[in-house]
A and B are shown apart, each in its own frame.
Chain A
Amino acid sequence: MQLGAESVFVGSGIFMKDSTNFADPEEAAKRAKAIVLAATHFNDPKVLLEVSEELTGAMKGLAVAALDEAHLLQTRGW
């Protein structure tokens, strides 16, 4: 957001612990809330600190380079 983006797109990896296993739902919810509030209040260090407390770690995701072209978001839609 500080680089000037208007918004952040979060993929379904928010629900995952790794590329094949689901994360514990409570943990995923906490992380999702942190992401939303961090994107909203990206310039407020106090909020960033608050939402980062006791998070078990960053969201695991898939490397874009490892995806098939058909699975890339930008190739989908109208």
Chain B
Amino acid sequence: MKIGVLALQGDFDAHRKRLEELAAEVVLVKKPEQLADIDGLVIPGGESGTFLKLLGEAGFEKLKQFVSTKPTFGTCAGAILLAKEVENPRQVGLGALDIGIRRNAYGRQVDSSIRQGKLGQALIEMVFIRAPKIERVGPGVEVMATESGDPVAVRQGKVMAATFHPELSEDTRIHRAFLDMVCNGKGR
């Protein structure tokens, strides 16, 4: 099972480490052609506007195709990229996840924090860094985790997203959930 991590910018290396800990074979994706070789993709935290700049139009289209067919997991900037509507400021999205998302919703860098949230019934550490907030959850979207009642991790079909950074915590539950999703996908 080959998992790609979009490696144009951001904390792709942190995701790589987490995935390798879970015995996944990781490919750092910098060119669109590499998308053909992977079974699932992680879009890391970073700066979503920068991702778009570095992807370019052709890269964006290839990525859009990919996320509509193969399992994809986005964290923070990755979640923003996957969303249908993006605000504060407005930005084009891949539209793979029927959510509305608001960038920098908690404030500036200094308002970043590590909090305890809920993954189902269990507590989980959540690292929020200039995080966005999911403001609209579409009908087909399942909320996987919450923090202070807000949805902070969601899933819709083969797409998963978190507004916090599981790759920066020791806890691997969320990455495992993604790998399970990729595994199950292969069975079909």
B9-34 with Cβ < 8 A to chain A? 9, 11, 13, 30
Quick check: A44 and B11 within 8 Å, CB to CB? no
Chain A, residues 36-48, CB within 8 Å of chain B (1/0): the string is: 1000110010000
Would B110 and A40 count as touching, CB distance under 8 A?
no
A residues within 8 A CB of B54? 36, 40
With contacts A6-B11, A6-B13 taken as known, whether A44 is within 8 angstroms of B110 at the C-beta atoms is: no
Chain A residues contacting B110 (CB-CB under 8 Å) are 78
A41–B11 CB distance below 8 A: no
- Find residues 97-120 in chain B having any chain A CB closer than 8 Å to their own CB: 110
| Bound-complex Cα distance A6 to B7 (A) | 10
**B8 & A40 in contact (Cβ 8 Å cutoff):** yes
Whether the pair A44, B30 counts as a contact (CB closer than 8 A) is: yes
CA distance A78 to B100 in the complex (A): 32
* Majority-rule SS of B interface residues: loop
Residues of A contacting B13 with CB < 8 Å? 6
Distance of A6 Cα from B30 Cα, bound (Å): 14
Contacts of A44 in B (CB 8 A): 30
Contacts of A6 in B (CB 8 A): 11, 13
**Residue interface mask B119-161, A partner, CB < 8 A = 1:** 0000000000000000000000000000000000000000000
A78 to B110, CA, bound (A): 9
Closest to B110 in A: A78
B11 touches A40 (CB 8 A): no
CB interface residues, B 50-101, toward A, < 8 Å? 54
| CB of B126 to closest CB in A, whole Å | 20
User: Across the two chains, which residue of chain B brings its CB closest to A37?
Assistant: B54
Q: Which residues of A contact B11 (CB under 8 A)?
A: 6
Residues on B with beta carbons closer than 8 Å to the beta carbon of A40: 8-9, 30, 54
Shortest beta-carbon distance from A29 to chain B in Å: 13
Complex: how many Å from CA A78 to CA B13?
Answer: 25
Residues of B close to A78: CB separation below 8 A: 110
Residues of B within 8 A of A (CB): 8-9, 11, 13, 30, 54, 110
Taking Cβ atoms with an 8 Å cutoff, the residues of A that contact B are 6, 36, 40-41, 44, 78
> Can you report 10 residue pairs joining A to B where beta carbons are below 8 Å apart?
A6-B11, A6-B13, A36-B54, A40-B8, A40-B9, A40-B30, A40-B54, A41-B30, A44-B30, A78-B110
Q: 7 other contacts beyond A36-B54, A40-B30, A41-B30, with CB at 8 A cut-off? A: A6-B11, A6-B13, A40-B8, A40-B9, A40-B54, A44-B30, A78-B110
